Amino acid sequence: MTTTTPSRGRRRAPSRIERAAGRAAALQKPRVVLALLLLLGLTSVMLLDGYLRAEVGGDQRVRDGASSSKVPDEIINGGPIISFRGGQATTTSVPDKTIALTFDDGPNPTYTPQVLEILEKYDVPATFFVVGSMVSRYPGIVKDMVDQGNEVGIHTFTHVDLSYQSDARIRREMTQTQLALAGAAGITTTLFRAPYSSETDAIDNYSWPVYKKLGEEGYTSVFVDTDSDDWKKPGVSKIVKWATPSGDSGASVLMHDAGGDREQTIAALPKYIEKMRAKGYTFTTVSGVLEAQNTGAQFPVGNRNGDRNGTDRLQAAHREATGATLYEGKALVVAVAVAEYTVPTLSAGLVVVGVAVMGRFGMMLILARRHYRQRNRRRFSWGPAVTRPVTVIVPAYNEKECIANTLESLARSTHPIEIIVVDDGSSDGTSEISREAARALGMTNVRVIRQENAGKPAALNNGVRHASHDIVVMMDGDTVFEPDTVRQLVQPFADPEVGAVAGNAKVGNRNTVIGAWQHIEYVMGFNLDRRMYDLLRCMPTIPGAIGAFRREAVLQVGGMSEDTLAEDTDITIAMHRAGRRVVYQEHARAWTEAPGSLKQLWSQRYRWSYGTMQALWKHRKSLTDRGPSGRFGRVGMPLVVIFQIVTPVFAPLIDVFTAYSMIFVDFRAALYAWLAVLGVQLVCAAYAFRLDKERYRYLLMMPLQQLAYRQMMYLVLIHSCITALTGGRLRWQKLKRTGEVGTPAGVGP
């Protein structure tokens, strides 16, 4: 009943494992850090882009009827330009026959260049109050604006009403806009116009402290006394009319070059300039108004860029950005450029991923239904019943908690079997427990083979070499079979083309949150994915928990390979390439103990996903092979790469963009979209549960699974991709077991 394989002089298992674990830990830590940095970088880019894309709405008033009792009368009744000197506020009016033309909410890539072209054509200067987020997105337009001799002022970074903001928020809005200007045009400015402001008589007790504070910091606040109301889109003639001051009065005129459809503004601007010049008006900037008041100078009519002195005077509000401000500004512009490139690219990827995910769900449902109907036809048969004995190989490494249950389940098998337990250098008495369990159960068909620790593939190969029968069933040492499992599993071998059979693995410890999540995943995987792959004849993996092989087919492909961490996927693809048919037998069920902690789950799935990548790379030549090997390369490999690697790697985009949309776009629409995707997944899961006759109550865990479990699986896959790209290597990792999955009679659905 027992056999022992000689030592052959290998190193002692514990020290080898410890050294390997140390090397693995040293290699994996940098990759974990890299994966986290990539995730952090993506999150930062998304947040930056969302912050930059905060909507700039129309200039509707935010408050109505607020008191202005604390605002000095000379401010309310004064001119549109408020300066502070020595803590004292003074106002300045635009002189007669003079227009200080101002534009708010830009720059805009469509309308601002058109405005600049018109201004240059008519040699008219203007003052642009720019939104910092737009400056950082379109720095080239701002540079052109300044180089052309126009003046810029701050209109906050996100077009927010500062009256109700904290001092920290106000400071941030101003500083970020200054940095954006520094990065775009190498300047800072002393001009400021608050969003939603209009004439000085609208200053109230909420906004006045903001103007005072900014004035004390050196800012000049600029209001209007003539509003074109172009944002209302009243028509070209009305824009021109409303922008025209009465009589010969000077005016600070407000127009917009962004924040909405500005086609009427573009059409009205030339007409307005021509009208005002015909009336003898001169155009200047805000700084030009202030300088004229201080010096008594006359305003030039044109020649805006004709001499350096004129340019300096018209740009008097500008300061050259130097030092940290300049470099931080350039860094901001570069970061925004990255975001501007990344987010649209990711958006396009999201569309592709979304189509692929929905297409996969649809294909799985259709093919799973067809597979179910084919297998449940009355006349369906694999051929004459397979009744000859088979060998069950149980590789075991430190399985003291589970091995007795495994043997007990095999003792109830309705099919004649011999059992080979291959103890892979266990240090917990697995061999002794196996022998004692066999004796207690009266099993005379059990052999225990002990070898030095060499890994699961070596243990399986050892079992194959010692097998007495032409069909070998492979299972894990923590798995239990139903009495009819082996009989069901081997029936497809009645077809001489079949070289291997995949069984239906089920989660036994499903009564925990993590177990329930994995239960949903297993049921969907085995009843949708595997049915689809079986129908397409490109089954990618025979699960290690339950699979059967023709012994001579295993030997033909060289046995279980140690080249990859996914020896089950490796040998399955090798079977395809050798011309053997691999099928799925859904009625052969095995109950396995899923990882009980997130750490163990991560370790297991990391090995699975990385091993799958290794196996695909190893068999990459199947893409150009002919015959059965070429069939898997042309059909199976693309499906696995697309559905198990590429799509899951980019699937987090769906969740990232959902969160992005909820925060920055439309919360309700984003929520409905997420619920719609969840609904599709629930339909697929419900159908899989129906096919497997499982209880639907576990589907109540699916929303939480999507929010937590799926994210972890995405990270595992991304981590595995990084490991693959950096050439890392892992060993077969042993998970901690509890032995709570008993015989199938106690854990049925």
Q: What are the residue numbers of the active site?
A: 104, 256
Instruction: Report strand pairing: 98-104 vs 251-256.
Output: parallel
How many DSSP H helices and E strands does the chain contain? 28, 21
Token pair for residue 134?
């737009």
SS (H, E, C) 159-210: CCCHHHCCHHHHHHHHHHHHHHHHHHHCEEECEECCCCCCCHHHCCCCCHHH
Encode 215-234: b = buried (16+ Cβ within 10 Å), e = exposed: beeebbbbbbbbbbebbebe
Q: What is the CA 456 to chain-centroid distance, rounded?
A: 35
DSSP state of 250: -
| Straight-line distance from the first to the last Cα atom of the chain, in angstroms, rounded to the nearest whole number | 35
Residue 276 in 3-state DSSP?
helix
Q: Please name every residue paired with 424 in a beta bridge, in sequence order, or none if there are none.
A: 451
Residues listed for the chain: 749
Residue 609 CA to residue 717 CA, distance in Å, equals 6
Decide the pairing of beta strands 187-189 and 318-320: antiparallel
CA distance 580 to 572: 9
Are 586 and 531 contacting, i.e. CB atoms less than 8 angstroms apart?
A: yes
Contact between 527 and 692 under an 8 Å Cβ cutoff? The reply is yes
Distance CA 24, CA 700 (A): 38
Give the separation between CA 503 and CA 526, rounded to whole angstroms. 9
Place of tokens 């059967």: 548
Identity of the amino acid at 591: W
- Residue 480 pairs with which residues in a beta bridge? 591
- Separation of alpha carbons 326 and 421, rounded Å: 71
Q: Which residue has the tokens 């300066």?
A: 83
- Residue 382: C-alpha distances to residues 68, 132, 375, 494, 585 (Å): 90, 71, 10, 6, 11
